[in-house]
Structure 1
């Protein structure tokens, strides 16, 4: 049986400086193979302790039972600060709670139906773009990035990506994505506030460019809201929603922070997942044929027929298991704790790795295999509850999780209804973690008509 590719694991023992070099190059291959079966592992530095946890009971404690006792760690957030500012992805405590009270209503179930036509329009545009390249070998991640960005702009600001300012944001973000590692120097060293964080010049410049462009779009939308001419899209919904406790709305500067994370989370993660899904379906053509057959049998423009795309949904769920776009989450202890009979100090870093949890060989049957049918088995159902969190879990679960699942399923259905993706003679892609899980040298596939 052919297994999908995964990165090589390092030796169990390396020095801190070797580990830092590995970590900055690729967070996944920096980890030892034993983490695929460990319940918990400790990593010591002269400055802090870090614990990677694969125990579902402990993860439930961190994310669901006591989430306020384990806030997000600034060690990770500092690397994204130039782009995300004070967005909901980075904040903690009352600031985060206020932001979620305003944001969450935009992603409630009824709103998904309202955004569905925009998702379909972007999916149809993506299928047409693929169709124009039949017979060619194409780098799939570039195409899925374009498609995912189109979804974000259509649903958030009612503008397709070929609008000039949307295209400018997309190009600036591509530059940012290539220049920004998942962690920077602050992840390893206790730097004072005044010390530079080691951002590359191109990272700072592209982040500033993105924020300037988003500010312009948001200013224009606020003017439309004030004039009563704003379209009823996600941006308008978020910008006009009042905090039920204070009655306040986001001002424009706050909205820029939130739009930055919507673009990062909604575009970058979706692009990653869709690219890996297409690669997996090229690797397993029998599943691709089942997805295509399902798509041809449904009216893809009808929201009520989403339930008929069950195979496509299971394929996308399995892709998110094998290649979770966000491979790890980091929290910090606010006081002394005991994890699995081990004393843990205040200020310790708690790493929950979706990448390892989703492949934990004590939990999953055939953890490295692509098996969309697993979701109907007892093992799959059990692991779906306890060991599957591509969108996190608990109060900090991604507010756009339902949105992302619809987007991924619709994109696959529209693209594969009339087209086929095939492997090329190039080597298999090697997963690496930048902002999300991408392929080291890209994912190359050939597009042919059915």
Structure 2
């Protein structure tokens, strides 16, 4: 589809502006801001955060900086990234689920893990995993077709599908027996332990908060569950004369190219937990938001369906040819970035955008804000997939659905392939609409989640 054709199709049509949380008042009190942060940090940001280049404030005795300029973001995440670590609250919230895996590790431990894991996530390696994806997507479509006579919870369906993909690509077996337990773990943690308590923000990392004791008990049960999955996979064995068949094989056989070291069992367990959680929850949420937007914007939904139909008529479509489908995914992740906030603590003094930064000051780079910033985007709150089809990509430090720099998400290509394939096949099979008109509002709790799961009506094409 050419840009001219796209312009013709969108001409005269007012773009969709989906519902968003209300912005914080400029005069919000410190207590009010604290309560908003606990409920959803998105609700703590006011007008200035969407308009100014840098917003300086205070955060429990230290200065805080919200950065909205590409140059400042590049400085923190690329040029001087080793000076900026996760905040104590970030460690408290993520460690119980992810241990010392790639998302949490710092310094030499992180470099070792990144070097060791990188070969498992190259485009070539991901291509070998696509059959697992397409099989699980096809089974999901069959189940949706059987349920299409009544309302359908597409959020749950996407969670089940991406969990199945995570299980098959990780272990070569489905998650029929373990999926419900894993989802229970994710829901339990998200609803009770992922929201930071005020003491999580105030206490030094070495001083446990009341929530930390509950998180430690959770982690004991969670790691036992992950160990059980690994033991089951190892018991299944593999043909040692065959090439690696899943991510578990790839990670188990991986060696640090500099030291030759492999992962220990504990490290492997943390990597498995990280990949399963990051690999299914964020993609499921992105797909939910995409389907929600398409249900609100039937014209864009039909454009996508037309692209899929055209590709199918020409034979099995290659994912690289699904240009508009990918643009819809990209635009959805602009409006609903999987990680809505990147928070870092300064390990030492620095200067950012001409401002003095002291040790332990807090730096916030919020894709939620950056992707909706008035100075960086035209119609920033509108759903306009065509903005990703102009041939001119956005500034790489203004669009951060997977982060940027050395710590960019290692599974970004995997997630994009999975989401694009799934969306093409689902919209190619069904028309989707919402059963009710009550707005669905994003909430920031680790990821950008919906405040409720609406029911959808799906009609086979």
Q: Normalization by structure 2: what TM-score?
A: 0.91
Q: Given the alignment of the two structures, is residue 414 of structure 1 paired with residue 425 of structure 2, yes or no?
A: yes
Q: Partners in 2 of 1:206 and 1:169 — Cα distance?
A: 13
Answer yes or no: is the 8 Å Cα contact 2:55–2:65 preserved in 1: yes
Give the Å deviation of 1:278.
Answer: 0.1
User: Mean alpha-carbon deviation: is it higher for 302-311 or for 18-27?
Assistant: 302-311
Cα distance, 1:238–1:299 mapped onto 2, change above 3 Å: farther
Please name the residue that 2:401 is paired with. Answer: 390
- 1:223-248 deviation line (CA, Å, top 9, x unaligned): 56698489610111011101112211
User: Mean alpha-carbon deviation: is it higher for 114-123 or for 205-214?
Assistant: 205-214
Please name the residue that 1:446 is paired with. Answer: 457
**Residue in structure 1 matching 2:350, options 337, 343, 346:** 337
Q: Partners in 1 of 2:314 and 2:407 — Cα distance?
A: 31
Q: Given the alignment of the two structures, is residue 34 of structure 1 paired with residue 48 of structure 2, yes or no?
A: yes
- Unaligned 5+ segments in structure 1 are none
Answer yes or no: is the 8 Å Cα contact 2:92–2:205 preserved in 1: no
Q: Partners in 2 of 1:168 and 1:84 — Cα distance?
A: 17
**Residue in structure 2 matching 1:355, options 363, 368, 373:** 368
Cα distance, 1:298–1:238 mapped onto 2, change above 3 Å: same
**Residue in structure 2 matching 1:135, options 149, 155, 162:** 149
Cα distance, 1:197–1:97 mapped onto 2, change above 3 Å: farther
Q: Equivalent residues in 2 for 1:303-322 (5 A)?
A: 305-322=318-335
Give the Å deviation of 1:359.
Answer: 0.6
Give the Å deviation of 1:3.
Answer: 0.8
Answer yes or no: is the 8 Å Cα contact 1:153–1:159 preserved in 2: yes
Q: Given the alignment of the two structures, is residue 198 of structure 1 paired with residue 208 of structure 2, yes or no?
A: no
Answer yes or no: is the 8 Å Cα contact 1:275–1:443 preserved in 2: no
Q: Partners in 1 of 2:114 and 2:192 — Cα distance?
A: 29
Give the Å deviation of 1:432.
Answer: 0.6
Aligned-partner SS, 1:421: strand
Give the Å deviation of 1:428.
Answer: 1.3
Please name the residue that 1:210 is paired with. Answer: 222
Cα distance, 1:179–1:402 mapped onto 2, change above 3 Å: same
- 1:349-402 deviation line (CA, Å, top 9, x unaligned): 111000000011111111111111011337xx3524331010001110101000
Answer yes or no: is the 8 Å Cα contact 2:308–2:428 preserved in 1: yes
Q: Partners in 1 of 2:205 and 2:125 — Cα distance?
A: 43
Please name the residue that 1:324 is paired with. Answer: 337
**Residue in structure 1 matching 2:77, options 44, 63, 72:** 63
Q: Partners in 2 of 1:438 and 1:37 — Cα distance?
A: 24
Give the Å deviation of 1:281.
Answer: 0.6
- 1:119-144 deviation line (CA, Å, top 9, x unaligned): 11111122122222213223322221
Aligned-partner SS, 2:65: strand
Q: Equivalent residues in 2 for 1:31-430 (5 A)?
A: 31-162=45-176, 164-185=177-198, 187-191=200-204, 193-199=206-212, 201=214, 206-222=218-234, 228=240, 232-299=245-312, 305-377=318-390, 381=392, 383-430=394-441
User: Mean alpha-carbon deviation: is it higher for 129-138 or for 186-195?
Assistant: 186-195
Q: Partners in 1 of 2:271 and 2:313 — Cα distance?
A: 30
Answer yes or no: is the 8 Å Cα contact 1:218–1:255 preserved in 2: no
Answer yes or no: is the 8 Å Cα contact 2:100–2:267 preserved in 1: yes
Give the Å deviation of 1:443.
Answer: 3.2
Q: Partners in 2 of 1:415 and 1:348 — Cα distance?
A: 45
Q: Partners in 1 of 2:434 and 2:90 — Cα distance?
A: 36
When the two chains are superposed, the root-mean-square deviation of aligned CA atoms in Å is 2.3
Answer yes or no: is the 8 Å Cα contact 1:72–1:91 preserved in 2: no
Q: Equivalent residues in 2 for 1:5-44 (5 A)?
A: 5-44=19-58
Answer yes or no: is the 8 Å Cα contact 1:173–1:206 preserved in 2: no
Q: Partners in 1 of 2:405 and 2:166 — Cα distance?
A: 24
Answer yes or no: is the 8 Å Cα contact 1:430–1:440 preserved in 2: yes
- 1:205-257 deviation line (CA, Å, top 9, x unaligned): 55433321211122344456698489610111011101112211112111111
Answer yes or no: is the 8 Å Cα contact 2:98–2:273 preserved in 1: yes
Please name the residue that 1:431 is paired with. Answer: 442
User: Mean alpha-carbon deviation: is it higher for 217-226 or for 311-320?
Assistant: 217-226
- Unaligned 5+ segments in structure 2 are 1-13
Q: Partners in 1 of 2:135 and 2:19 — Cα distance?
A: 32
- 1:270-289 deviation line (CA, Å, top 9, x unaligned): 01100000001111111111
Cα distance, 1:225–1:312 mapped onto 2, change above 3 Å: same
Aligned residues: 446
Give the Å deviation of 1:69.
Answer: 2.1
Cα distance, 1:180–1:55 mapped onto 2, change above 3 Å: same
Give the Å deviation of 1:315.
Answer: 0.4
